[in-house]
A and B are shown apart, each in its own frame.
Chain A
């Protein structure tokens, strides 16, 4: 999964785009080694010491990892569980929509 996330972040670094994580690791200090090794540069909420049953994951009904939501610029949920090429397609569609809206508004 990381290589795909990295390439997404890299490809869209100049676009109005953000990859935000919600991390369910129990030990955040241990995780920091992995961040460096895997070159994980995106920002994540840490869901606390309860790991996979942390408050954010529980209130979002997350039962399997990774779970992915794609939100548009208004914070509206537009895609749930998009993976692989579908995820790229989803993000590209929303970026195109956003560009069309912005140029239409001018």
Chain B
């Protein structure tokens, strides 16, 4: 039961759902940090130290891998927050234990990368894992960082080169490995490249042929002559 609760909490937090509390905590912390940086650091340490202590115990007493993983992942998440020594050590310990136990488990490593997508985590993971799917997740995590930067600004020459290498690997050697949603990286990367090249502002949108929710066939191009808002959505 405990493990289920933990898992639910962690995945909800990871997805950013039902986690409004975190935004408030972050805001209050930020204010405190501006006004009284020393006090803020002490509060961070106290808070994080207390949480981590509980989580180490939970992990040590865990009855199965799900519960152990959830506790350690939460410890990772809690300590990702801060820059103090307690946080740094907590982060290191959580990462080491997660990798020691789960480095060849792509599902769990995917969750770890969602919580911590830093170069430090990726490099440690790559050094520990023997699983090709986990390696692919690390490559994608790095590529995703560049892709999200690209939305705001043009990449530097080095970064662009590195991104090309990563995309090349993911659509080549790693194309049959699966991302966290179960899609082949080959398809994901082709889609992304197409999105960058063919789905940019100024390009004519490729047609979509399909069926509506009642099963009636129609095409995007049926709406030529109108201004169209194309909305990829889901009810969740």
Contacts and interface: CB of A to CB of B under 8 A. Distances in A.
Interface string A1-16: 1000100100000011
B228 interface: yes
A66 B192 contact: no
A3 to B, nearest CB: 13
A58 B183 contact: yes
Interface size class of B (residues with CB under 8 A): 35 or more
Contacts of B204: 74-77
A39 interface: no
Nearest to A82: B229
B19 to A, nearest CB: 17
B64 to A, nearest CB: 28
User: Interface SS of chain A: helix, strand, loop or mixed?
Assistant: mixed
Interface in B113-171: 151
Contacts of B208: 22, 45, 56
Given A46-B211, A66-B233, A77-B201, A60 B191 contact: yes
Contact of B233 (A21, A73, A78): A21
Contacts of A23: 213, 233-235
A68 B195 contact: no
Interface stretch (B20-28, B33-41, B72-80, B217-225): B217-225
Interface in A41-66: 43-47, 51-53, 56-63, 65-66
Contacts of A76: 202-205
B212 A46 contact: yes
B192 A45 contact: no
B12 to A, nearest CB: 17
Contacts of A62: 191, 195, 232
Interface of A: 1, 5, 8, 15-25, 28, 31-32, 34-35, 38, 43-47, 51-53, 56-63, 65-81, 87, 91, 94-95, 98
17 contacts: A17-B229, A23-B213, A38-B235, A43-B212, A44-B233, A45-B218, A46-B212, A59-B190, A59-B194, A60-B194, A65-B232, A67-B232, A70-B229, A73-B227, A75-B220, A77-B202, A91-B229
Closest CB pairs A-B (n = 3): A61-B195, A61-B191, A45-B210
Interface of B: 151, 181-183, 187-188, 190-196, 199-208, 210-213, 218, 220-221, 223-236
